[in-house]
A and B are shown apart, each in its own frame.
Chain A
């Protein structure tokens, strides 16, 4: 404990100047004139809008990936003091002076720069020579595509950084396994592996490929560990558990944490509210919350409600009726009931109001005390403006003849009695006596006579139905289906018995004075100094009764019911799952794009992407790889696979002269580098979304790491004589100079700093399929 009294404190610094030098040149290559061009380049226009949302704390949902990457970019904006005020609408638009371009691009550039020394470290940890390690780093340094991608406000370089970090820390971990298991550094690297993996996944879903690869390698190593009979059973169990926690539990928790932060940061209503549930929207500041604050929570007999369909397809809409009737017969000759139309209408309207009625009573106002409606109760729904009852019967629906028509009942005095009784079925109930709650309850309305379910069919009615959406009664009770589920969005207790009064009441907004319903804590925090960002004022968890330090916005969320009862369950985990689910299910339309490409184009670099063109000169930025590196990396991969198979066969026949340790090294390097390439490349063949060249960059990075591995192997094992070796060395040097030369030639297109003449540009168009922009005049 007091050892320092006996011995002096000695700090031995072990600085690898290689790494320092590599970091320095990496930084130089990525950070040089980083703020140039001062204009929106390619996908910056896409990520920029999300940064603005973060800066303004407006809720958004990006279906293309999890939020961690956006958050990191926004962190750059936050550090640079960006206020979010910029209109991201056009590639090439000049940045206004309030946009801190340098700091926005800083994080990706740093990540890109650090990838260079990390490549060195990885090869070193794979037990390859310094020379090979330097080679890998130098190749990363002069890869034009990686530079372009890292110097802009894009996510790929961050993804690559975390991919490499995951691999590196796993290698460090497994190398310390033999000597010092369960030491602090062992734990550090193990945990870092898990964290880096989840960061990679948190930036783009693509990160999951590297995660799976690392998991696979870890599983094989663990399997060998289990077979190690020198270890006791308990020890093996500890090893397995430690790995399971660090590589499975930690990433899952970290991943959830991203969403937690995302939801905590973004507390204002924004453009993507609509796809989330009403309950979630109600929790956003300025969104639905403005309307729903002060609404009664429990739906009672006599409640006036609007019913929103839980399905957002094709558009979010509310159950609606209007005085028009179904046409006597449709175009195809089928007949209808000629009763009042019931539709789903995507806009707020006074005709969206329905009154919940007790079939046994005539009153349409809420009694005192209110009698809440529970799961399993039978109700009638009265259309507020026309006072007609929601009805369905054995008449074919207008567009889906297999389903029943839903109408508001008009008594034509023919033998078609009203069938207006509906049983309430709360889909997300916790008990069978659950009360129907505003926003929270997802209800199905089951028709009593025919057991049909009220359902949004998703089809648009023709002109006679004003192109609103068709609502039908469908007989099949096939489990949970979103289009058959409705939630109460706006709600108030009806007070007027007279029709005229009621119409007036329906026309009046539900908006109640909000401040009246605010709790003490909410008002208290509003008194806080205004300099404090509104959403960040921490609240003492003890006082709100919830366990997490909700932000002030969260408090308001928990506070919207007049009885001060928070909505059932914590909103955050619900929101989190919902958000994750929506992100996975939101389908981006696969629109064609001028620069989209197929995975087959990538290996041969048959495609490029023009990122930016100077508005006046012909200075331009392209995503374009270093041809020499791409070609040789491809060759090296093929060579690796061939050699690997050859060695495998030789070893099987026991005729191989490759020493055991170099074989193991060769296999591990291949599993991580060639495996990393394959894992990050082949899945794209199965994807149906629009693909771009930059999707290949993570795979390319792994391929570049493989290159020196193969070269060193050839130099050590395949060149028999000294002469061969020197010759091979000379070849490698020549090849690297060629790569440098190509880098230099493509440099103007990478940095976009030099305006080339049309003939120079034409000379750079080495492939027919490259699209280099040449000004005509």
Chain B
């Protein structure tokens, strides 16, 4: 057997995560024929110690040539170390989509959706908001974004069979103060909005107790909220929805036009925190965004259906899974003693939805889609 090896030095030092490395090497069969397996494992471990690599993740974050240089191991042994580390890092083996459909893996895409308390809108969204990514809702001021966000904060509290997720909502305000009166009004009219749900169930749900309101006036407090308070609420199962109203406010106000690189970096940090929370706790995240005018000769990110585009540019758009836009139309619609300006809710892009629109109106009880035949 031709040996690639070089001279090896045995150093006895204490390392952190020694047990981790031994565990991940324990189940791994070495492919070399020379020498007993145990001796080879000790050699790999000792080289690992001397390289001052602290964890399995650190081993995988470096290119293979760097690992080889740091540990001084031969190429096949570096490969063994990396493969053992990969086994330790892996959360689950690849599973077929058929198994996914049958619900054999709860961590993966399960098709679970958060309904928005309106059958027309649920039809537009094919069930509701997906639980595994960021849904963005953008529009001009007064279009109805906060109204819809409040409605979804209530619909999440219903049990799963009624389109909710059986948990509360964490509502992070960055602009105005929280519209508490409007929320109270919507809570009192829930029986009207959700007429298909037994009223005893609605009476039993204590809606206002389960909406956790946070005010974040700047980026630092937003980071603190997402990194400290949100995980506690999510881990305890108290919260199954995160709403950020709005995303644009903080990023547009704290950065000048020239600081766009720093802004993008902060935006990426913020969105990766949201993604982490969303994935770990299978929680939908709804971000409300402002709009900005479309510049002439601007590289289009989509067919121009209106003169405005969501703010924060391409860097933010790349993080978003489902993009919705809402805008006011010139028409009004009336029903009984109420009248409402008509809005249009449009699906701009989503992996599972066609580009489609529907008309919505805002009533006392909440936001309702206007069905086609009405």
Q: Do A and B bind each other?
A: no
Q: B residues touching A (Cβ–Cβ < 8 Å)?
A: none
